[in-house]
Structure 1
Amino acid sequence: MSSLHILGIDLGKHCFHLIGHDSAGRELLRKKFNRNQLILFLSKLSPTTVAFEACGGAHWLARKCLEFNHQIKLIPPQYVKPYVKNNKNDFIDASAIAEAACRPSMRFVAVKSEEAQVIASIHRVRDGYIKERTACMSRIGAMLLEFGLSLPTGHAKMKGLFQWLAEQNQPLPALFIQELQGLHEYYSYLNERIKSQDKKLHQVIEHNELALLLKTIPGVGDLTATLCLADISSPANFTNGRNMAAWLGLVPRQYSTGGKPKLLGVSKRGNKQLRTLFIHGARAVLSKPDKTGKVFGQWLIDLRASKPFNVAVVALANKLARIAWAVMYNRQAFRMTTI
């Protein structure tokens, strides 16, 4: 094992396939373990470089490997695929991971802390409740439409559903009303669960100095600040604010050839959820240019005057992302002079 240079692991729920390479890329080790056997093997292995894809359970295993003094390389799965040779199986995938991790230009994912994963879980559960609530509202609207009633959109009408039904003065079957009551109770329950998740995120904000600093940025609220904590393990992973904005997909997509540069719409790569929150924050700022938008001065006025609204929103979201990187990197509150 002394000549082992890198260990590639193909992760699974129960089975883990390992391939070890020396510095010349020759295979030295080929093993298959269950979870307990893998942890025992890694604990006895001399400190080495361990590589695997950034997928389910990867950050937990990465923290375990760090406890055993191994060097960790987490690779985005799409960057491993070009190194898979011939037919696909778990050992070939592990070998491809080991080979990809040795490339000098390869990009890696930072290991998340337990706190970051907990915050991400709160967001994930909250998003699930919101999707269920939307489905519940659509179900109620579709059922009413079958009886000739078109329910107006919005939560205000949904909360006052039975008052609205009484105003329509249209008789409905008693069993149908019971079904509506059950769905409306479920809708109310989901509202309470979403509020509960919001309270949890607010508690995270209150006990985290960096989150409070992020909230000093116009357009950044509890959701955006906590998701930055969850998804951005360290601002030092990005060389500058533009690099983070590119990771969020808030920069133009490029398709250049023959020496002719061609820039298209935003790339929409990277973190979709965080990108969406920054765009919503930019919309909120642009909706009140005389209040929240005044800190951006003449730049925002000229942008709004010369560009379509949606283009201005994305440009402002890009700026907000860069400011967020600066706030996290320098650990200083947002000031007008930082723009």
Structure 2
Amino acid sequence: MDYFAGLDISMDETHVCVVDREGVVVHQTKTASTAAAIAVELAKAPSCRRIVFETGRMAPILFHGLSQLGLPVVCVESRQAYQALKSLATHKTDRNDARGLAHLARTGFFKPVHVKSLSAHALRSLISARKKLVGQRVTLENQIRGLAVVFGIRLPRALTAAFIDQALKASEGIAGLSAAMRGLIAARTAVMTAVAAIDADMRRMARASAACSRLMTIPGVGQLTALAFVAAIDDPSRIRRSRDVGAYLGLVPRRYQSGEVDYVGSISKCGDRRVRTLLYEAANVMLTRYKGQLKLKDWAFAIAKRSTMRKARVALARRLAIIMHAMLRDGTEFVLA
């Protein structure tokens, strides 16, 4: 007889439930949220044909850890699992969720999701850290300008070293303002140093990656965009058709149809928001800063002529995603034409 397991994972504990083909619970317990501990508990039950758990913060490390132990684990989208679990139990508890996931594994009523490699997650963490630091730098600079303008000191958007010195000199003699300025400027300097260190690491990683080097030959695509795209795709072969990348990154129009109602709205904005933003910026750079002749530019400008420039940027971003995926999958080069 076939057996199926569901895992409801939290930071500290994981609830385990194993059911047979008829849905009868044969083993139910909880253990620590580590691959070794979960494998020990599953070994106490009959061998499972399929083990299902939801996406979450612990999903990558547990998925790869259990896979290395030879267990048939499947990760499912948490939003899809939520809709199914809501109809299976009146009370939402970890125990009930584990049993519900086991029933999902038994029925096969789920769509598995790709769990990115740990190296891809590490690269995404580096990009996220840089984004957070850049946001902190902007916040600090706005705070410096806000404090300075109260005392009649107007600082430009680009805070160069000369303007920082001007702000410090102007605040001298004002006890509260001087201390505040020095503290904020010291914090800004530390943040900028950290951003520069991350940029240096990203530059080395981009140069060492053949895939990133190929992607960076596309006008408008820099090291940050190339690294973010490679980390988001992870394994190009998992997406069979390159044109599906647009939907994966949320760059296709949202459609709603019900009876006589049928309309197409703005883009869905699903998937990785950061990669979508970077592709949009790359499209804007290609249209506004790249001076060479390019068929992609002509195609996007034709869209802008009959619609809007914003829609042209979105369309070009989607086309860039398709081209970049094909380059990763096939190992081909970008041809300027």
In structure 2, distance between residues paired with 1:212 and 1:98: 44
The one-letter code sitting in structure 1 at the alignment partner of 2:4 is: I
Q: Which residue in 1 is equivalent to 2:229?
A: 228
Q: Which residue in 1 is equivalent to 2:159?
A: 157
Gaps of 5+ in 1: none
For the residue of structure 2 that corresponds to 1:151, the secondary structure is coil
The one-letter code sitting in structure 1 at the alignment partner of 2:242 is: G
In structure 1, distance between residues paired with 2:104 and 2:253: 27
CA shift in 2, pair 1:74/1:124, >3 Å: same
CA shift in 2, pair 1:218/1:259, >3 Å: farther
Farther off after superposition, 301-310 or 183-192 = 301-310
Q: Which residue in 1 is equivalent to 2:71?
A: 70
Q: For the aligned residues, what is the CA RMSD? A: 2.5
The one-letter code sitting in structure 2 at the alignment partner of 1:35 is: S
Q: Which residue in 1 is equivalent to 2:11?
A: 13
The one-letter code sitting in structure 2 at the alignment partner of 1:326 is: A
For the residue of structure 1 that corresponds to 2:257, the secondary structure is coil
In structure 1, distance between residues paired with 2:90 and 2:154: 57
Gaps of 5+ in 2: none
Match for residue 123 of structure 2 among 98, 119, 123: 119
What TM-score, normalized to structure 2? 0.88
Q: How does 1:1-339 map to 2 (within 5 A)?
A: 3-35=1-33, 37-42=37-42, 46=47, 48-84=49-85, 85-101=89-105, 106-153=110-157, 156-157=158-159, 159-165=161-167, 173-258=174-259, 261-288=262-289, 290-291=291-292, 294-296=294-296, 298-336=298-336
In structure 2, distance between residues paired with 1:30 and 1:247: 36
> 1:296·1:336 contact (CA, 8 Å) conserved in 2?
no
Q: Deviations over 1:157-214 (max 9, x none)?
A: 35433344489x7876144223212211211221111111111112222222222222
CA shift in 2, pair 1:166/1:233, >3 Å: closer
Instruction: Provide the aligned length of Structure 1 versus Structure 2.
Output: 331
CA shift in 2, pair 1:184/1:233, >3 Å: same
CA shift in 2, pair 1:14/1:202, >3 Å: same
For the residue of structure 2 that corresponds to 1:326, the secondary structure is helix
The one-letter code sitting in structure 2 at the alignment partner of 1:185 is: A
Deviation of the 1:25 alpha carbon: 3.3
In structure 1, distance between residues paired with 2:163 and 2:2: 67
What TM-score, normalized to structure 1? 0.88
CA shift in 2, pair 1:335/1:7, >3 Å: farther
The one-letter code sitting in structure 2 at the alignment partner of 1:257 is: S
In structure 2, distance between residues paired with 1:70 and 1:54: 17
> 2:2·2:48 contact (CA, 8 Å) conserved in 1?
no
> 1:279·1:314 contact (CA, 8 Å) conserved in 2?
yes
In structure 2, distance between residues paired with 1:213 and 1:105: 40
Percent sequence identity over aligned pairs:
24
Farther off after superposition, 308-317 or 126-135 = 126-135
Deviation of the 1:303 alpha carbon: 1.9
After the TM superposition, which parts of structure 1 deviate over 6 Å for at least 4 consecutive aligned residues? none
The one-letter code sitting in structure 2 at the alignment partner of 1:160 is: A
For the residue of structure 2 that corresponds to 1:313, the secondary structure is helix
The one-letter code sitting in structure 2 at the alignment partner of 1:23 is: R
